[in-house]
Amino acid sequence: MGAYTSLITGYVGPFLISMVEWTQDHLLPMPADQQIVAEAHFFVAKKSGTPRSGEVMGVALRGIDCLKPGGASDYKLYEFGDEVVYTNALLHTTCRPSGKTKVTITPRNGNPVVLFNGFINGREQVEIGGVEGSYEYGMLTVSYVGTKEPTGPYRPVNQTPPPLAENRQ
């Protein structure tokens, strides 16, 4: 019985999962004009003595890259010039052609934690627990962002409105 269970969990289960993912990738691909954005906002405790209250790390994956065979992957470290940094972690994001997204964070101790693994429904938010010596608690936001250029005439946004008399006509 143990060999049968081992066969199911070791071979049949992963095979079925890969078939489902292949089907999603080919029959339900994500739009090429979207990009996946993962932003991690970390809060910095007042006791640290820093003038800022938080730090942000972000990764963006273009839909056209996610649609390639094998999907896309990118990572970011928090960097903020010469200032003291309180976030010492690696944010890694991957996407599949179907839009399935996985976001992991790896603190200084080297044990990655999966923060999000699934399909984005507009915008998803996940709480992040702090790891001493790496980062404070925070919030992960994963969302789709459009990349299409707007169409139509360009209108200046920083233009003084016409005098009131012209507005009434």
Q: Read off the pLDDT band of 159 (50, 70, 90).
A: confident
CA distances from 165 to 31, 71, 156, 157, 168 (A): 47, 57, 21, 21, 6
Q: Which fold is adopted by the domain 25-147?
A: Porin (2.40.160)
Phi-psi region of 70 (alpha: psi -120 to 50; beta: other; left: phi over 0): left
Q: 132: how many CB neighbours lie within 10 A of its CB?
A: 9
**pLDDT confidence of residue 21:** 76
pLDDT at 166 over 60: no
Q: Read off the pLDDT band of 25 (50, 70, 90).
A: confident
Contact 124, 143 (CB under 8 A): yes
Nearest Cα residue to 104 out of 92, 96, 95, 94: 92
For 110-114, what is the mean pLDDT? 88
Contacts (Cβ under 8 Å, ≥6 apart) of 97: 25, 26, 29, 30, 66, 67, 68, 69, 71
Q: Which residue has the tokens 């019985």?
A: 1
Would you mind telling me the total number of residues written for the chain in this entry? 169
Q: Where are the domains of the chain?
A: 25-147
Of the listed ranges 2-16, 49-63, 93-107, 132-146, the least confidently predicted one is 2-16
pTM for the structure as a whole: 0.76
- In percent, the amount of the chain with pLDDT more than 70 equals 84
Contact 75, 99 (CB under 8 A): no
Q: Read off the pLDDT band of 80 (50, 70, 90).
A: low
**pLDDT confidence of residue 75:** 92
62 vs 131: which has the higher pLDDT: 62
Nearest Cα residue to 95 out of 66, 68, 124: 66
